[in-house]
Amino acid sequence: MSTPSQITCVEDFRRLAERRVPRMFYDYADSGSWTEGTYRSNESDFHKLKFRQRVAVDIEKRTYRSSMIGIDVAMPVAIAPTGLTGMQHADGEILGARAAEKFGIPFTLSTMSICSIEDVAAHTHKPFWFQLYVMRDRDFIERLIDRAKAANCSALVLTLDLQVLGQRHKDIKNGLSTPPRPTLANLVNLVTKPRWCMSMLGTKRRTFGNIVGHAKGVGDLSSLSSWTAEQFDPALSWKDIEWIKKRWGGKLILKGIMDAEDARLAVESGADALIVSNHGGRQLDGAPSSISALPNIAHAVGKEIEVWMDGGIRSGQDVLKAIALGAKGTMIGRPFLYSLGAMGEAGVSRCLQVIANELDITMGFCGHTDIHNIDRSILLNGDIFD
């Protein structure tokens, strides 16, 4: 299986990435916190929802074009922010942004990206989104916001669920740090991934380009780990969100909302959208799956703010289920990372095609021709998470 057209589903990309990306970075993507219970349920809860198949309905002309915060999108899916993306594939953030813009969906660049905001802006044509973590160093945050504005980013995705860090056992065991621990296993692993090594050799870009050389006390990689560990701000409050909103002045999306009371506060903050997200099961293990948390939040605030979700989406069928349960948009994290690690930009493009095709065909099976008409009625048991 070596050409993009031979790939037929996200699982194909996952398997290929597992073979091609060094274990340390593959595991970084394919893991959740502690028991990984929430990580697994993000995916498995989608399988509990069953479609209502309809027949003999004219479904010849179908469209899944939509909009997210007023931006026209080829399908209601955006690429989620993911840290260290440039370690799955050299220049990963640039390649991901390019694939997304060609397909016509938004790309979100993480604060913890390898390529910087300026790198991505210099290699793309359309505005992308920037994801912000709130750090204790507020001067640094101000400069990051200003850099995102200068790069013409069209939305700020403010992640709220990382005041403390979830622990992933695999990262510790693999020696994932900056720079990585040079264990024998890691060195052997590198040598056995020639494709990855070749792609990395071609890159000259700085690593952690949003931070190194920009944050006080982080002149090089060796000081990054301790800086990062100390900087995520446990004292983050809604007052800070108000301040960030004012400083940014553009579209604001709040990420990491899992509770209807927090969703209400998100509405009151004046944000443009909120994302029902448990950080892909990487933060609070034991939290519900995102898809099971979605209906309650959509019911509570869906008429006042755009409600999106991410976590566990592995197909266009999952996208459709999220829309049916009240999401106006969705985000994908690991499907993007697997396809990038497996095949670079061509992989991401193919992954988006696969998801769009599954979305289109499933909508047809359910007797619908327009994604705007999708609601709970396409599901036989749409109330199981109420």
Task: Tally the C-alpha atoms within 13 A of residue 377's C-alpha that lie toward its C-beta.
Answer: 7
Asked if residue 22 binds ligand FNR (CB under 6 A), the reply is no
If DSSP codes are grouped into helix, strand and coil, which group holds residue 86?
A: helix
Give the residue ranges of DSSP H helices in 2-54: 10-20, 23-29, 37-48
Tally of CB atoms within 10 A around 122: 11
The strand pairing partners of 73, in sequence order, are 66
User: Which entry of 47, 279, 368, 372 is annotated as an active-site residue?
Assistant: 279
Could you tell me the smallest distance in angstroms from the CB atom of residue 335 to ligand FNR? 6
Give the residue ranges of DSSP H helices in the chain: 10-20, 23-29, 37-48, 92-103, 117-122, 138-150, 169-174, 184-191, 194-201, 224-231, 238-248, 260-268, 290-301, 316-324, 334-365
95, 332, 363, 379: residue in contact with ligand FNR (rule CB under 6 A): 332
x/- map, 237-276, ligand FNR, by CB under 6 A: ------------------x---------------------
x/- map, 93-132, ligand FNR, by CB under 6 A: -----------------x-x------------------x-
> Buried (b) or exposed (e) across 248-257, using 16+ Cβ within 10 A?
beebbbbbbb
Asked if residue 81 binds ligand FNR (CB under 6 A), the reply is yes
Task: Name which of 115 and 368 has its Cβ closer to ligand FNR.
Answer: 115
277, 317, 349, 362: residue in contact with ligand FNR (rule CB under 6 A): 277
313, 319, 348, 366: residue in contact with ligand FNR (rule CB under 6 A): 313
Burial class (CB in 10 A: 0-12, 13-18, 19+), 3: exposed
Asked if residue 28 binds ligand FNR (CB under 6 A), the reply is yes
Question: 214 catalytic, yes or no?
Answer: no
Q: Which residue is nearest to ligand FNR (CB)?
A: 333
Task: Name which of 86 and 382 has its Cβ closer to ligand FNR.
Answer: 86
Helix/strand number for the chain, H first, E second? 15, 10
Asked if residue 279 binds ligand FNR (CB under 6 A), the reply is yes
Cα(135)–Cα(51) distance, integer angstroms: 43
Asked if residue 159 binds ligand FNR (CB under 6 A), the reply is yes
Stretch that binds ligand FNR, among 79-87, 98-106, 184-192, 341-349 (CB under 6 A): 79-87
If DSSP codes are grouped into helix, strand and coil, which group holds residue 77?
A: strand
Asked if residue 66 binds ligand FNR (CB under 6 A), the reply is no
> Residue 293's closest CA among 322, 264, 328?
322
List interacting residues with ligand FNR (CB under 6 A). Answer: 28-29, 42, 80-83, 110, 112, 131, 159, 255, 277, 279-280, 282, 310-313, 332-334, 337
- Catalytic residue IDs: 279
